[in-house]
Amino acid sequence: MRLPRTIATICARGGSKGLPGKNIRDFAGKPLIVHSIEQAQACPEIDAVYVSTDDEAIAAVVRAAGATVPYVRPAELASDSAPKVPVIEHLVRFLERQGQAVVRVVDLQPTSPLRDAADISAALRSHPDADLVVGVKDAADNPYFNLVERGEDGWVHLSKGQGSTRRQEAPAVYALNGSIYVWQRAALAHAAIHGLWSVHIAPFVMPRWKSVDIDDLEDFEHALWLYRRHAGSTP
């Protein structure tokens, strides 16, 4: 058995419908997924980077970037409807059967290229007692202030609370950005069976500009504009 390790996982299917081929589409001079790989490689707390994919073109790009693709993801875990946590658990269990001793798993979304290695390190340090640390951003809307839902009487009502006259008076709420998930190993195994919200979760608040998730061409172009603006880079 090897020494306990913190690993990074990146889950990347080949069948994107919103933007075909997005995971290896050129973003600022390199395939999109390579940004996440290099961020993980630059993070001193991470010992190895593994990618779960069902697509050989993605696998070739990943290997060229120095990350490991231990196997081709099974078809039952590669559909549109397959939840992500069991995919990560499947990968970690495979590594453990190979003799790896995994204590923490940092899952990075390949469609979130605007984080950096410092964000990952900060997330790893942020809440050592949490089962899971999730990347979040300040929510654009607030259920205590301006989110409404239709009640049984047919009329709309504020989603939570009695209403605040000013946004600043409403409790802070966050939106998951999908960028970073820091799992304790036992919590990952538990959540793979019982669901994400069955463990103790702490937020890691990130700037809104770093929280962009690329799903379609509009997202891609917006993320590239933000990259150029904040990184001062001209692809």
pLDDT tens figures, 61-79: 999 999 999 999 988 888 7
Structure tokens at 233: 């880079």
Residue 61 CA to residue 139 CA, distance in Å, equals 34
Q: Give the predicted TM-score (pTM) of the model.
A: 0.91
User: Cα dihedral angle (182, 184, 191, 131), rounded to 10 degrees?
Assistant: -80
Beta strands in the chain (DSSP E): 4-12, 26-27, 30-31, 48-53, 101-108, 132-138, 148-150, 156-158, 174-184, 201-205
Cα–Cα dist 164/142, whole Å: 10
Domains and their CATH numbers in the chain: 4-135+176-231 (3.90.550.10)
Asked if residue 108 lies in contact with residue 182, where contact means CB atoms within 8 angstroms, the answer is no
Nearest to 26 by CA among 194, 224, 231, 162: 224
- Per-residue confidence (pLDDT) for residue 232, from 0 to 100: 53
Using CA atoms, how far apart are residues 25 and 151, in angstroms rounded to an integer? Answer: 44
H/E element holding 37? helix 32-41
pLDDT (0 to 100) of residue 3: 67
Per-residue model confidence as pLDDT tens digits over 141-192: 999 988 999 999 999 999 998 876 677 788 899 999 999 999 999 999 999 9
